[in-house]
């Protein structure tokens, strides 16, 4: 029946013999000259060609794109087409961009860095480099909110969690955080919340990384927490401090390399009712007694040492592990084991009620992402090396450090720290020299040392250092004291370890099967690709997630990412060594400011939510500078992103909700009333534009004026910026600051749940308050403290957005926004009559996404949003955004990268599912046993015997409801997963040998 319906629809909907889902030959623009580039990027990035564009416009009743855009975007917020054009942002072809990136990469000097401070030169195993970070099957999927089609990366993230739990000896770990510094800030807030927000002092040991302390300062301010920085072991004996102490943070080993026994400190902190937060290093924990064994409550750090490039600061996956008593307060994503409808073990996101999109203003964390791609790389590194391989690496690193220490001490230097794993701090006064002398000698031969002060230098070793590197480094130190140079033959292996016996690790780690079987490249390659085969990504189909902008992540923009001239750069090297990077950063900042209409940009925030938080902190600093620090009210529409209220709370603001009207638009009367009521304390107004309901609201400028008239600033959430470029901009709409998601609008991959980048652009009056960083060469006196661990955030993936913008050029960027609007409106037109379109503007148009309401099916047949979503998986699609921003709705965003063929294929699937729902409504299928309620149907279900098949439909109807699926189908690997069971039986690590044998 389904095949007949489909055939009839094709017969009556097309006058050609070409089926709707089979694309005709695409039209390609003729080059203006044989000397012009033939690899221009816009026609590769934008899905519909000219013919398809004309077809969609015609279906919507338009003769031109301008006429269509005029109905979709309010006239009064439009900007001149000349604002964003090839004259303002010149276009590069793919090959031209490649050549320019190479030239800029050559401007980054190839120094060997021994700077340390939480960053290392990782060795990325080639099998992981090529098959994970360079593999679109791993970097194009979305966050695994649909676990039935994400079992591969969920398993890998469980490997990551297990790795962290095992090495730290903690009870539970999450699936990664943005970076070590922000993870530390989350740990501090957890300690504060655990005291019922009554104890407001947090003790930070002076050995904690300086960039971490800077981020702690920023976060502490919003919560009214007072940082006390000093020697933690002595400071904690202060009785006045103990009575107000919520937590203590230590670094293990510390920034200077010291390995201290913090057991007594932990016991003292616990007796005062405080939590102990420990920043640490996973490789060090191969040899050191794990923090979980000496009393830490929260353990965190940077996992990038496990096979993730330095990348001038990131992106990197931070790890975060806690004691069992804190698991339900732990921020971030958590992967747990559960079971599917047939009882088969399966993974999924656990304890989601902790997440900010549910808790909103009650949340104390706004983190809504992880660093899944980087966490998966770190997990694969541990899987590949296993415990024995990791032990060899740790022994080498520690051994090289010992050899270095003993050799330089033999020529007169003094090492300040008697205990160490991989870092020593060298006192140069013993030889009558200054630190400057050492730095001059090292830079002359291409070596960077850590700049500590005038009397000390720091040296940190890592896996990448070869015996030849070690000899070269030692000879820098010998040359300064005019001692004879050494050769490799002069060096002797250390007799033992320099780690105190009481701090040596004795417990076993990584005993799970997955870490002990994939050590040949053949086995590792097959394991990586086996997991990838379980996950749906853009390599398979469109991912029409509303408010997520899952567009093409072009290969041409990804290529420079792993070039060594960009990937092997420490974030704290001198600026004159990274001129190429700084050109990329400067150009990206300028282009983003031009696109948004603002004055200045900061690339430091590591996610969209981090951008929201940074923007609100900038607004608070602005008010304080004007003597209006009392302004602490933030108005937020109920339609706002869930991160908005959470970010406001983190910035120390009080949230006041603003109503929406029946048509989805902002209630300006309610806004005006609340702005006037709070005019003396109004700090900010947060608004998403276009709204999360999928329309450009006519009154956005009026709303912004209301706020400005009452002394507030406007934060415009740029999550939906993809609908605006070249047509309008946040500044024209009335904003003072906006963030944008480079992993949405500007084509950084979502990575299966991270990384992301959330830079902020601000008006000129807010520019002096943009985030600073201890490693920045110059810091304005009005700048807020750092919001991420690295000065420019996740610098290496800025290359992707820089390349994307440069290859599209101004014209291509504007055209992309137009096609994004057209694709969404064409989809809305095709689905109308089958589904209820919740909101549209006065011209009947949506923006770049559409909201369909499924409430009628719940009333008529008990069908929920999840039933439609799971059934879409059977059609080979990732479902749209479900139950957000309205619980009964789906939010659909096709982006500009999808062709008319793919959009029609999705619409055909949705229409067919609507007909299946009608069979349930009319009683042709029972309400409790039907195609939607039983979806998805993995191969294991389709393969059931006739005796086991107890369903009132055929296997073909379940698996191949439309003909195209017989040729091309992505199969879910498990049936629908039981979330409640997983939360009630929380298991977040790998299965043991016994469990695997039992299963």
Which pLDDT band holds residue 354 (cuts at 50, 70, 90)? very low
Reading the block at residue 98, the tokens are: 């490649």
Give the integer Cα–Cα distance in Å for 370 and 612.
16
Domain closes at, from 517, 540, 563? 540
Whether 207 has a pLDDT exceeding 60, the answer reads yes
pLDDT (mean) for 954-960: 98
432: in domain: yes
Whether 12 has a pLDDT exceeding 80, the answer reads no
Same domain, 520 and 596: no
CB atoms within 10 A of CB 626: 11
Contacts of 496 (CB under 8 A, 6+ apart): none
Q: Could you list the beta-strand ranges (E) of 597-692.
A: 600-602, 633-637, 654-658, 682-688
pLDDT at position 35: 87
Give the integer Cα–Cα distance in Å for 20 and 542.
16
Give the integer Cα–Cα distance in Å for 101 and 95.
10
pLDDT mean across residues, the chain: 94
441-465 confidence digits (pLDDT tens): 999 999 999 999 999 999 999 999 9
338: in domain: yes
Same domain, 509 and 642: no
Cβ atoms of residues 965 and 137 within 8 Å: no
Which pLDDT band holds residue 537 (cuts at 50, 70, 90)? very high
Whole-number Cα distances in Å, 605 to 624, 762, 798: 22, 14, 12
At 447 the three-state DSSP class reads: strand
Same domain, 595 and 509: no
Same domain, 535 and 584: no
CB atoms within 10 A of CB 943: 10
Domain closes at, from 519, 540, 561? 540
In the chain, what percentage of residues exceed pLDDT 90? 89
66: in domain: no
Whether 799 has a pLDDT exceeding 50, the answer reads yes
pLDDT at position 540: 98
DSSP letter for 15, please. Answer: S
172: in domain: yes
358: in domain: yes
Same domain, 479 and 381: yes
Same domain, 397 and 487: yes
Q: Provide the CA 838 distance to its chain's centre, in angstroms.
A: 30
pLDDT (mean) for 124-133: 98
Reading the block at residue 337, the tokens are: 């084991």
Same domain, 790 and 856: no
- Domain containing 596 — which CATH number? 3.40.640.10
Which pLDDT band holds residue 103 (cuts at 50, 70, 90)? very high
Which pLDDT band holds residue 18 (cuts at 50, 70, 90)? very low
Upper half-sphere CA count for residue 514 (Cβ side, 13 Å): 23
986: in domain: no
495-516 confidence digits (pLDDT tens): 889 999 999 999 999 999 999 9
Same domain, 857 and 803: no
pLDDT (mean) for 595-604: 98
Whole-number Cα distances in Å, 714 to 600, 669, 736, 788, 953: 16, 17, 5, 23, 54
Cβ atoms of residues 655 and 362 within 8 Å: no
Report DSSP letters for 211-264, one per residue. HHHHHHHHHHHHHTPEEEEE-HHHHTT-HHHHTTEEEEEEEES-TT------HH
Whether 596 has a pLDDT exceeding 90, the answer reads yes
CA-based R_g, the chain, Å: 29
Whether 757 has a pLDDT exceeding 70, the answer reads yes
Closest CA to 69 of 954, 964, 817, 910: 817
Same domain, 644 and 741: yes
Whether 105 has a pLDDT exceeding 70, the answer reads yes
pLDDT at position 8: 41
**Residue 879 backbone phi and psi in degrees, to 5:** -65, 160
Domain closes at, from 513, 540, 567? 540
Which pLDDT band holds residue 24 (cuts at 50, 70, 90)? low
48: in domain: no
Give the integer Cα–Cα distance in Å for 122 and 568.
8
What angle (nearest 5°) sits at the alpha carbon of residue 559, between those of residues 553 and 564? Answer: 140
Structural domain total, the chain: 3
733-751 confidence digits (pLDDT tens): 999 999 999 999 999 999 9
Which pLDDT band holds residue 30 (cuts at 50, 70, 90)? confident
Closest CA to 421 of 250, 206, 254, 257: 257
Same domain, 317 and 432: yes
Same domain, 858 and 801: no
At 426 the three-state DSSP class reads: strand
Sign of CA dihedral 787, 789, 795, 800: negative
864-896 confidence digits (pLDDT tens): 999 999 999 999 999 999 999 999 999 999 999
Give the integer Cα–Cα distance in Å for 601 and 245.
37
At 469 the three-state DSSP class reads: helix
Reading the block at residue 675, the tokens are: 């702005």
359-403 confidence digits (pLDDT tens): 555 666 777 678 999 999 999 999 999 999 999 999 999 999 999
215-243 confidence digits (pLDDT tens): 999 999 999 999 999 999 999 999 999 99
Beta-strand relationship, 172-173 and 201-205: unpaired
Which pLDDT band holds residue 988 (cuts at 50, 70, 90)? confident
Same domain, 958 and 896: yes
- Provide the terminal-to-terminal Cα distance of the chain, rounded to the nearest Å: 39
- Token look-up 């979305």 returns 142
Cβ atoms of residues 97 and 803 within 8 Å: yes
189: in domain: yes
Which pLDDT band holds residue 662 (cuts at 50, 70, 90)? confident
In the chain, what percentage of residues exceed pLDDT 70? 95
pLDDT at position 14: 41
pLDDT (mean) for 666-670: 96
Give the integer Cα–Cα distance in Å for 477 and 909.
69
Closest CA to 267 of 243, 247, 242, 294: 294
Whole-number Cα distances in Å, 77 to 254, 728, 950: 53, 6, 58
At 486 the three-state DSSP class reads: coil
User: Domain of 126?
Assistant: 107-540
Query: For the chain, give me the number of helices (H) and strands (E)?
Result: 35, 25
């Amino acid at each position: 029946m389904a095949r007949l319906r489909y055939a009839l629809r094709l017969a009556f909907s097309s006058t050609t013999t070409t089926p709707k889902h089979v694309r005709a030959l695409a039209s390609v623009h003729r080059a203006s000259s044989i000397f012009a580039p033939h690899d221009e990027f816009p026609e590769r990035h934008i899905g519909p060609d000219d013919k398809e564009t004309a077809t969609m416009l015609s279906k919507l009743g338009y003769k031109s794109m301008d006429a269509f855009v005029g109905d979709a975007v309010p006239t009064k917020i439009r900007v001149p087409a000349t604002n964003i054009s090839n004259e303002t942002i010149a276009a590069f072809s793919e090959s031209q961009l490649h050549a320019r990136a190479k030239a800029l990469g050559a401007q980054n000097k190839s120094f060997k860095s021994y700077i340390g401070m939480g960053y290392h030169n990782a060795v990325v195993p080639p099998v992981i480099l090529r098959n994970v970070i360079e593999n679109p099957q791993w970097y194009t999927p979305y966050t695994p909110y649909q676990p039935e089609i994400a079992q591969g990366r969920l398993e890998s993230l469980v490997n990551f969690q297990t790795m962290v739990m095992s090495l730290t000896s903690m009870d539970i770990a999450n699936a990664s955080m943005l970076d070590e510094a922000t993870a530390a800030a989350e740990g501090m807030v957890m300690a504060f919340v655990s005291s019922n927000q009554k104890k407001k002092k947090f003790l930070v040991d002076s050995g904690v990384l300086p960039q971490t302390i800077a981020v702690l300062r920023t976060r502490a301010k919003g919560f009214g927490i007072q940082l006390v920085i000093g020697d933690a072991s002595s400071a904690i004996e202060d009785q006045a401090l103990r009575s107000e102490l919520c937590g203590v943070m230590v670094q293990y080993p510390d920034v200077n390399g010291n390995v201290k026994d913090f057991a007594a400190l932990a016991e003292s902190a616990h007796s005062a009712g405080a939590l102990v937060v420990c920043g640490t290093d996973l490789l060090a924990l191969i040899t050191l007694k794990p923090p979980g064994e000496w009393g830490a409550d929260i353990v965190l750090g940077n996992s990038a040492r496990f096979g993730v490039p330095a990348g001038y600061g990131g992106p990197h996956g931070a790890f975060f592990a806690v004691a069992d008593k804190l698991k339900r307060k732990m921020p971030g994503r958590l992967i747990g084991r559960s079971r599917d409808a047939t009882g088969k073990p399966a993974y999924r996101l656990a304890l989601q009620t902790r997440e900010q999109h549910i808790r909103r203003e009650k949340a104390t964390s706004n983190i809504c992402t992880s660093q899944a791609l980087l966490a998966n790389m770190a997990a694969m590194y541990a899987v590949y090396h296993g415990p024995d391989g990791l032990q060899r690496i740790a022994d080498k690193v520690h051994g090289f450090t010992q050899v270095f220490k003993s050799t330089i001490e033999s020529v007169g230097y003094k090492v300040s720290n008697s205990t160490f794993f991989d870092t020593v701090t060298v006192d140069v006064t013993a030889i009558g020299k200054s630190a400057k002398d050492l730095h001059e000698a090292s830079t002359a031969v291409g070596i960077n040392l850590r700049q500590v002060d005038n009397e000390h230098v720091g040296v940190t070793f890592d896996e990448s250092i070869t015996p030849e590197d070690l000899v070269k480094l030692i000879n820098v130190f010998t040359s300064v004291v005019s001692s004879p140079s050494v050769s490799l033959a002069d060096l002797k292996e250390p007799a033992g370890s320099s780690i105190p016996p009481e701090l040596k690790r004795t417990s076993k780690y990584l005993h799970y099967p997955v870490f002990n079987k994939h050590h040949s490249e053949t086995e590792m390659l097959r394991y990586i690709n086996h997991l990838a085969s379980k996950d749906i990504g853009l390599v398979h189909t469109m991912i029409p997630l509303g408010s997520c902008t899952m567009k093409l992540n072009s290969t041409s923009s990804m290529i420079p990412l792993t070039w060594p001239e960009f990937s092997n750069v420490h974030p704290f090297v001198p600026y004159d060594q990274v001129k190429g990077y700084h050109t990329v950063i400067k150009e990206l900042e300028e282009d983003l400011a031009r696109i948004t209409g603002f004055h200045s940009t900061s690339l430091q925030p590591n996610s969209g939510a981090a951008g929201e938080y940074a923007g609100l902190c900038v607004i608070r600093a602005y008010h304080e500078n004007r003597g209006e620090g009392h302004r602490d009210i933030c108005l937020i529409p109920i339609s706002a992103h869930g991160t908005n209220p959470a970010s406001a709370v983190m910035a120390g603001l009080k949230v006041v909700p603003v109503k929406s009207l029946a048509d989805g638009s902002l209630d300006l009367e309610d806004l005006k009333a609340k702005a006037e009521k709070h005019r003396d304390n109004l700090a900010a107004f947060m608004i998403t534009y276009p709204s999360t309901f999928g329309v450009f609201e006519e009154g956005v400028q009026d709303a912004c004026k209301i706020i400005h008239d009452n002394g507030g600033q406007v934060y415009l959430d740029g999550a939906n910026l993809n609908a605006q470029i070249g047509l309008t901009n946040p500044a024209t709409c009335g904003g003072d600051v906006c963030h944008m998601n480079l992993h949405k609008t500007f084509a950084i991959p979502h990575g299966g749940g991270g990384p992301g980048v959330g830079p902020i652009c601000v008006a000129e009056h807010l520019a002096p308050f943009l985030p600073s960083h201890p490693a920045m060469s110059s810091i304005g006196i009005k700048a807020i403290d750092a919001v991420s661990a690295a000065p420019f955030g996740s610098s290496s993936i800025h290359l992707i957005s820089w390349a994307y913008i440069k290859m599209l050029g101004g014209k291509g960027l504007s055209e992309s926004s137009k096609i994004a609007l057209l694709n969404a409106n064409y989809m809305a037109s095709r689905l109308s009559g089958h589904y209820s379109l919740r909101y549209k503007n006065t011209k009947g148009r949506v923006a770049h996404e559409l909201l369909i309401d499924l409430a009628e099916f719940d009333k008529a047949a008990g069908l929920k949003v999840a039933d439609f979503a799971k059934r879409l998986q059977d059609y080979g699609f990732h479902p749209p955004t479900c139950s957000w921003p309205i619980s009964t709705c789906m939010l659909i965003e096709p982006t500009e990268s999808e062709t008319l063929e793919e959009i029609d294929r999705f619409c055909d699937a949705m229409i067919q599912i609507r007909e299946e729902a009608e069979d349930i409504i009319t009683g042709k299928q029972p309400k409790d046993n039907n195609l939607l309620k039983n979806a998805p149907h993995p191969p294991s279900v389709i393969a059931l015997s006739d005796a086991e098949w107890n369903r009132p439909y055929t296997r073909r109807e379940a698996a191949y409801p439309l003909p195209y699926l017989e040729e091309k189908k992505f199969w879910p690997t498990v049936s629908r997963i039981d979330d409640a069971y997983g939360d009630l039986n929380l298991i977040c690590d790998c299965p043991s040998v016994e469990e695997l044998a039992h299963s």
